Amino acid sequence: MLRSLIVGLGVTLMASSDALAQSCAGNPIAVQVLGSGAPGFVRDRANTSYLHWIGNQAKILVDAGGGAYVRFGQVQAKFSDLAMILVSHLHPDHSSDLPGVLWSGRNTRNDVLPIVGPSGNEAVPAFNEFLMRLFDSKNGSWEVLSSVVGPGP
């Protein structure tokens, strides 16, 4: 139900060519669609990513599909304002820009940013394992980001 609401809001916002330039500042609570593209390439649309704003601060990033890194910057969200990143599932169109988003903000925080995701199943690892594979300080694909994510499970 919530996902349908968010997608419906996204379709409405994306109908306007000015949707990317709109600011969510000044609203008490708002959801901004950074991307609503499909798993394949969709011209001029980033993959799935949403920002939840409280006042003029982007507090929660939900998903970080391809293009989220660029869109996050375009809407002038601040990595230091984020309280959490949520990843709904581990398909690339929902998680492929996570390293880019973390890289862009790595020098703007003094604390560890909570990143929450799915428990995993026979097809995909648990989210903690996914994060370890990417960001482990000794064996991760992006070891340089281990201080942003934290010590791991």
Q: Which of 82, 83, 89, 44 is nearest to 65 (CA)?
A: 89
Examine the pLDDT at 2 and tell me if it is beyond 60. no
Average pLDDT, the chain: 82
pTM of the full predicted structure? 0.78
- The CA distances from residue 31 to 53, 95, 98, 116, 134, in Å, are 6, 19, 19, 18, 28
Q: Which of 152, 134, 150, 132 is nearest to 142 (CA)?
A: 134
Tell me, what amino acid is at 26?
A: G
Tell me, what amino acid is at 132?
A: M
What is residue 113's predicted lDDT score, i.e. its pLDDT?
A: 86
pLDDT band, very low/low/confident/very high, at 13 (cuts 50, 70, 90) = very low
State percent of the chain over pLDDT 90: 58
Taking only the tens place, the pLDDT of each residue in 34-57 is: 999 877 777 888 999 999 999 999
Give the single-character DSSP code of 145: G
Rounded to whole angstroms, the Cα distance separating 152 from 128 reads 7
User: Span 104-123, mean pLDDT?
Assistant: 88
Task: Write down all domains in the chain, each with its CATH number in brackets.
Answer: 2-118 (3.60.15.10)
Examine the pLDDT at 150 and tell me if it is beyond 80. no
User: Span 123-130, mean pLDDT?
Assistant: 92
